[in-house]
Amino acid sequence: MKKTAIFFILFLNLGCLCRCTPPVQHADPFYNVPDSFSMARIPLIKPLEANRLDSSSPWSLFVDYALGVAIPGTQEVYLYNIEALEKFAVTDGIILAYSPYVNTRAAAYIQENYYHWFVIIPAEETAQGFQTEDEFRAYIQTLGIAEPDWQAPDAAWEQFRKTGCLAWLPDCGQAGPGDRDRQRR
């Protein structure tokens, strides 16, 4: 009787493991959930992604094109990436981001002029930073964006990790997690 019970429990566990389907596999591997979860990553628009080293690290968005503060009286620009990403949106090939981060080790002028609101257009390899939300909102309206669909990185990561899909990913469209099986076919 004990052996039968043990085999039954093992059979149930095996059945549960078989029903756990992997996330969507995308045509472009850039958009796949990584095999290793040592570094969390959220693909935005290729080649850009938000990432963090571990669950206690802040989210970052590294941009290959210059984001920075021009230093007056020189031809120098203090370049930086978007650290401590608090929220982001992806719409019509455009990435919008907000971060309250300021590098406290930078010179006072740079700290006072740090950008917190960002508009990134990967297809044009451009990135624009704004100090205030009003400046940011005025600019995105010129791009035809009335109200961003903000995402918190932790929530987006959890959805991506579990389903392999986010609304802006090429193989996902506007589908929600319940549409995952239909997308795999």
SS3 67: coil
Q: Does 28 fall in a domain?
A: no
pTM of the model: 0.79
* Residue located via tokens 């093992």: 10
Domain tally for the chain?
1
Which domain covers residue 77, as residue numbers?
36-184
pLDDT of residue 36: 63
Tokens for 43? Answer: 């693909």
Residues 62-102: tens digit of each pLDDT: 987 768 888 899 999 888 899 999 999 999 999 999 999 99
Strand 117-121 versus strand 126-130 pairing type: antiparallel
Q: Does 17 fall in a domain?
A: no
Q: Does 120 fall in a domain?
A: yes
Q: Does 10 fall in a domain?
A: no
pLDDT of residue 184: 32
